[in-house]
């Protein structure tokens, strides 16, 4: 079909539609090329889909179209003829303004070829038939196991005395550190000595190796995280001489991205040594942050005995078995899956660059185009992840352009060897080659957008344009607290909390699983467990031991939105399967910040993807201990004698999660865009609660008929009794068949479980028994306070603590600028702080380790999260260096307390004992696998308490 598009006459909406058609068309065609190559390579495409749908190669089109390809369902939801027409419109518009679209042009030709083959009236997913010799996918998809549970050894795990690690670059540092945190003696080598020095400073289990051979000597496992195949071969059989130094029976884990044919070749070379040295093909995905956090996705293939031997080491880098993706087919199969992921990721970055450049050439606000694309069918993981760098012209190499020169080269070489054509990969590869020829190889791969002579960043508005208004129409005024609260209706006269508890204990309610986006959500509960892992086996065991509910610490607030969404999806899927195995029903609470910070709508959308649609989202940010009240749908934070609208507090200025609206209706529209409109809301008012009681709440909830779409239920509350009454009515509505998803603060959880508050606990009341810590006559050790939170309340509390304790408190202040300036600077800062803290704790002195009080942030949310991650890693490394068990540990701030618990202390399951002060949770982990088992652990939120609260706890816990 011929197209004649006059771009000059197009309006903004029509131009945005062109960009979206470009992205959707390229993503769909890339999915077809990728699934075709997976089939040609002998992989099970359904397994490939299950792995990549949650990885960096994912897109809306991949998730939507590939199931149709796998099922050979060609019923036209969107026909291939329509794809020809849509891409033709895009290409014609580009020609009209003399703007090159090399990737989109290739895709248009593929759609035309598909239509010419007679597929035009079928769904555009039928394009995959163009890449298959017989046109069939189904016969090729004998499903193989990739479930992480299959990696669990069926025999007693082999003891691993030493792990050798070669390649301590950006990814390797985090992986090696995760192994050391897992208790393995790790001997690390890198060609750049500062990388070795940095690694050694992270953990007492980290040892420097002078050469690859020394890393390999006596190693039960040797892990290679080098840049390419040539380096891997040289390390083992060339100048590195590592293969000769390995003991008989060792296992080599190849984690680098290499051609599948090379992985098979390397296995053969090791086998030719005749010394029973095995090999596992284990490419990784997830980026630098997940490597450092120990939550990488690792794709694994190889012989079963080798998998069993290396299982515990691999698990220390993935965090949970669900991050282990087992692929059958032997060595080379995992690299083939990684190759498919890299095909998609590389094409998606190129498509994002091409589309954003087109948007700029069309005169569009590129930030608005980006925001809209990320909320609908034009989305890809890479667009969302790399788009901010394009908008800010930030070419910091979080992932260097040279990587895709290499990785798409691997794709094209392997395709050629298989007799397979990959035109989209070829067009994309040429863009990366062009970028490298301009000297950009070591800069960000997002910088490929500079190939077009337009400026994406210059066309970006300073802040993202929203389809809904961002600012409140009429500014909401602060209110006098005492007068406002006194004017409200009297509280409901009956205490219903015990009724709630009896209902829950009787088994009338589903098990409540609270996904806590940072550890502070446990602040209203006691005598309940919190998990820091979420594999199916552990979660099933928790369902079997606890009928009321439990927490899972996700720490998702510390992650970028894309990673947070993928994490919640994974956890909800695991919970669903674990509950099924245990024969339990459950419901999910997404526990978030009472000052409205967090990933919205990403986390609820992820829960819906795993668990299906709900009748409503319950929004309940009330938290009395923190002075967080909701009145007439407006959320307030009490400051002194004043109720301040939440959007007018420092919390709303958060560099990552800032917002403009205090009215919760406007807040939801601001955050969720077109997902909701003014008809979506249902308010449960204070009058409903205090006058109508539980039956009034039930009637209000049931007043919205089923079938009107997902409602957003706003819960107004200013007293704990309000939340108790709301829950009592909610339980009645659930008996009538309603199903809800909860986005709440901590107060809802204790009301729903029927947990009545207790007085703050003293250190004597929570000290562990001697059976946990062992008997000792040594003088008491010092207490340790770690402070990473930067909010004004924390700063005020630290100031008061230092004033009140004076010389009784040692203080180490970490300059955040030093932590982010360079690896060498960070290593020196951490080493000095660790030495001081270790000495003070051992000598019985309390010590405060705090970050500098000036907030260091970037112009975008992702950059600010990355700074926060570096700060958290530094505090964890200091904690890991503390040799003497502290008398207690106080962790100030959500990210700090989460990482200190899970990474610094290796907690997997802890008991929530109560609170050290109102709103300040107190945990203890007595499991032998944890570090410093039995230490009282105070999870101190950054934004809770008075200026004196922290000092009062430290004073009370003095000896």
Residue 182: how many CB atoms within 10 A of its CB?
21
**301 DSSP β-pair partners:** 281
**Candidates 129, 140, 338, 565; catalytic one:** 338
Tokens found for residue 552:
């899972």
In this structure, is the dihedral angle defined by the CA atoms of residues 589, 591, 594 and 595, taken in order, positive or negative?
negative
Q: Are 119 and 127 in contact (CB under 8 A)?
A: yes
Residue 338 among the catalytic residues: yes
Task: Determine the angle formed by the axes of helices 80-96 and 12-40, rounding to 10 degrees.
Answer: 120
Q: Strand 278-281 vs strand 297-302: parallel, antiparallel, or unpaired?
A: antiparallel
With a CB cutoff of 8 Å and minimum separation 6, the contacts of 213 are 240, 241, 242, 244, 245
Alpha helices in 274-332 (DSSP H): 287-293, 304-318
Q: Are 908 and 538 in contact (CB under 8 A)?
A: yes
With a CB cutoff of 8 Å and minimum separation 6, the contacts of 159 are none
Which residue in this structure is represented by tokens 């939105």?
Answer: 561
**714 DSSP β-pair partners:** 619, 683
- Is residue 682 exposed (0-12), middle (13-18) or buried (19+ Cβ within 10 Å)? middle
Q: Are 345 and 57 in contact (CB under 8 A)?
A: yes
Q: DSSP secondary structure string, 789-806?
A: --SHHHHHHHHHHHHHHG
CA distances from 356 to 393, 496, 859 (A): 12, 56, 19
Which residue in this structure is represented by tokens 């503390």?
Answer: 882
* Rounded distance between C-alpha atoms, residue 534 and residue 520, angstroms: 18
| Collapsed DSSP state (helix, strand, coil) of residue 784 | strand
Q: Strand 681-684 vs strand 642-645: parallel, antiparallel, or unpaired?
A: unpaired
Nearest to 654 by CA among 677, 675, 671, 631: 671
Alpha helices in 41-57 (DSSP H): 45-52
* Strand stretches in 833-942, DSSP E: 846-851, 889-892, 909-917, 920-924, 937-940
Q: Are 549 and 501 in contact (CB under 8 A)?
A: no
Task: Determine the angle formed by the axes of helices 401-418 and 333-361, rounding to 10 degrees.
Answer: 120
Tally of residues, the chain: 959
Q: Strand 586-591 vs strand 549-553: parallel, antiparallel, or unpaired?
A: unpaired
* Rounded distance between C-alpha atoms, residue 21 and residue 93, angstroms: 12
Q: Judge if the upstream peptide bond of residue 357 is cis by omega within 30 degrees of 0.
A: no
Q: What are the counts of helices (DSSP H) followed by strands (DSSP E) for the chain?
A: 35, 28
Nearest to 646 by CA among 667, 625, 632, 674: 667
Tokens found for residue 251:
């296992």
Nearest to 823 by CA among 64, 82, 170: 170
Q: DSSP secondary structure string, 175-244?
A: HHHHHHHTT--EEEE-SSHHHHHHHHTT-TTEEE-SSHHHHHTT-SEEEE--SSHHHHHHHHHSTT-HHH
Q: Which positions are catalytic? A: 338
């Amino acid at each position: 079909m011929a197209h004649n598009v006059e771009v000059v006459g197009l309006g903004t909406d029509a131009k945005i539609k062109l960009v979206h058609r470009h992205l959707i068309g390229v993503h769909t065609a890339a999915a077809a090329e990728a699934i075709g190559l997976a089939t040609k390579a002998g992989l099970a495409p359904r397994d490939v889909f299950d792995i990549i749908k949650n990885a960096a190669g994912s897109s809306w089109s991949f998730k939507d179209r590939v199931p149709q390809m796998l099922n050979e369902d060609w019923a036209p939801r969107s026909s291939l003829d329509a794809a020809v027409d849509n891409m033709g419109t895009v290409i014609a518009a580009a020609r009209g303004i003399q703007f090159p679209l090399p990737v989109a042009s290739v895709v248009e030709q593929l759609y035309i070829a598909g239509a010419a083959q007679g597929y035009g009236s079928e769904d555009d997913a039928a394009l995959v038939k163009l890449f298959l010799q017989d046109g069939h996918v189904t016969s090729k998809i004998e499903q193989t196991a990739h479930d992480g549970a299959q990696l669990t050894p069926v025999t007693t795990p082999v003891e691993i005395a030493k792990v050798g690690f070669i390649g301590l670059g950006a990814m390797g540092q985090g992986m090696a550190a995760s192994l050391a945190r897992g208790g393995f003696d790790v001997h690390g080598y890198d060609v750049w000595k500062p990388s070795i020095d940095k690694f050694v400073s992270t953990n007492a289990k980290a040892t420097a190796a002078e050469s690859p051979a020394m890393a390999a000597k006596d190693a039960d496992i040797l892990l290679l995280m080098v840049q390419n195949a040539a380096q891997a071969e040289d390390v083992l059989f060339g100048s590195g001489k590592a293969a000769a130094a390995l003991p008989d029976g060792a296992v080599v884990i190849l984690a680098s991205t290499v051609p599948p044919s090379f992985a098979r070749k390397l296995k053969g070379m090791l086998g030719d040594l005749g010394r029973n040295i095995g090999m596992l093909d284990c490419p990784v995905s997830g980026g630098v942050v997940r490597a450092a956090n120990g939550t990488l996705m690792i794709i694994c293939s190889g012989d079963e005995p080798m998998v069993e031997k290396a299982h515990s080491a691999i698990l220390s880098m993935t965090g949970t078995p669900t991050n282990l993706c087992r692929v059958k087919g032997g060595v080379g199969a995992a690299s083939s899956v990684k190759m498919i992921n890299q095909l998609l990721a590389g094409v998606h970055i190129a498509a994002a660059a091409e589309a954003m450049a087109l948007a700029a050439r069309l005169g569009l606000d590129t930030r608005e185009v980006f925001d809209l694309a990320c909320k609908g069918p034009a989305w890809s993981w890479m667009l969302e992840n790399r788009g901010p760098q394009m908008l800010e012209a930030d070419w910091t190499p979080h992932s260097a352009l040279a990587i895709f020169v290499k990785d798409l080269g691997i794709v094209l070489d392997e395709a050629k060897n298989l007799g397979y054509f990959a035109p989209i990969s070829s067009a994309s590869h040429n863009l990366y080659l062009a970028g490298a020829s301009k000297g950009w190889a070591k800069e960000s791969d997002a910088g490929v957008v500079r190939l077009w002579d337009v400026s994406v960043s210059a066309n970006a508005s300073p802040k993202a344009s929203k389809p809904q208004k961002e600012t409140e129409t009429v500014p909401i005024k602060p209110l006098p607290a005492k007068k406002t609260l006194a004017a409200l209706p009297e509280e409901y006269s009956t205490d219903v909390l015990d009724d709630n508890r009896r209902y829950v204990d009787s088994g009338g309610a589903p098990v409540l699983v609270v996904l806590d986006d940072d550890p502070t959500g446990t602040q209203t509960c006691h005598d309940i467990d919190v998990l820091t892992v979420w594999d199916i086996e552990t979660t099933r065991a928790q369902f079997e031991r606890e009928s009321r509910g439990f927490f899972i610490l996700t720490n998702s607030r510390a992650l970028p939105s894309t990673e947070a969404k993928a994490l919640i999806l994974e956890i909800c899927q695991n919970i669903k399967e674990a509950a099924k195995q245990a024969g339990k029903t459950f419901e999910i609470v997404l526990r978030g910040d009472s000052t409205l910070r967090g990933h919205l709508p990403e986390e609820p959308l992820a829960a819906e993807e795993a668990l299906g649609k709900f009748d409503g989202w319950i929004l309940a940010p009330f938290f009395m201990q923190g002075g967080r009240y909701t009145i007439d749908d407006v959320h307030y934070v009490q400051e002194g004698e004043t109720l301040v609208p939440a959007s007018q507090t420092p919390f709303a200025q958060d560099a990552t999660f800032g917002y403009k609206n205090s009215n919760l209706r406007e807040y939801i529209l601001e955050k969720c865009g077109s997902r909701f409109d003014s008809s979506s809301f249902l308010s449960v008012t204070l009058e409903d609660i205090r006058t109508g009681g539980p039956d009034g709440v039930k009637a209000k909830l049931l007043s919205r008929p089923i079938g009107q779409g997902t409602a957003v239920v706003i819960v107004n509350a200013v007293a704990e009794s309000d939340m108790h009454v709301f829950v009592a009515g909610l339980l009645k509505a659930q008996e009538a068949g309603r199903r809800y998803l909860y986005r709440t603060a901590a107060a809802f959880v204790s009301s729903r479980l029927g947990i009545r508050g207790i007085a703050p606990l003293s250190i004597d009341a929570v000290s562990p028994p001697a059976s946990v810590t062992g008997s000792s006559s040594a003088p008491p050790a010092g207490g340790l306070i770690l402070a990473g939170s930067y909010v004004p309340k924390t700063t005020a509390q630290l100031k008061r603590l230092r004033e009140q304790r004076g010389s009784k408190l040692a203080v180490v202040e970490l300059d955040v600028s030093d932590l982010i300036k360079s690896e060498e600077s960070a290593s020196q800062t951490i080493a000095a702080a660790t030495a001081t803290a270790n000495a003070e704790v051992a000598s019985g002195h309390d010590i405060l380790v705090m970050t500098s009080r000036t907030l260091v942030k970037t112009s975008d949310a992702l950059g600010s999260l990355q700074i926060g991650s570096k700060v958290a890693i530094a505090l964890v490394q200091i904690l890991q260096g503390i040799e003497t068990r502290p008398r207690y540990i106080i962790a100030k701030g959500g990210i700090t307390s989460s990482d200190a618990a899970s990474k610094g202390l290796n907690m997997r399951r802890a008991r929530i004992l109560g609170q050290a002060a109102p709103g300040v949770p107190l945990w203890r982990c007595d499991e032998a696998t944890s570090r410093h088992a039995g230490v009282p652990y105070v999870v101190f939120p950054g934004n809770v308490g008075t200026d004196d609260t922290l000092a009062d706890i430290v004073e009370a816990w003095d000896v």
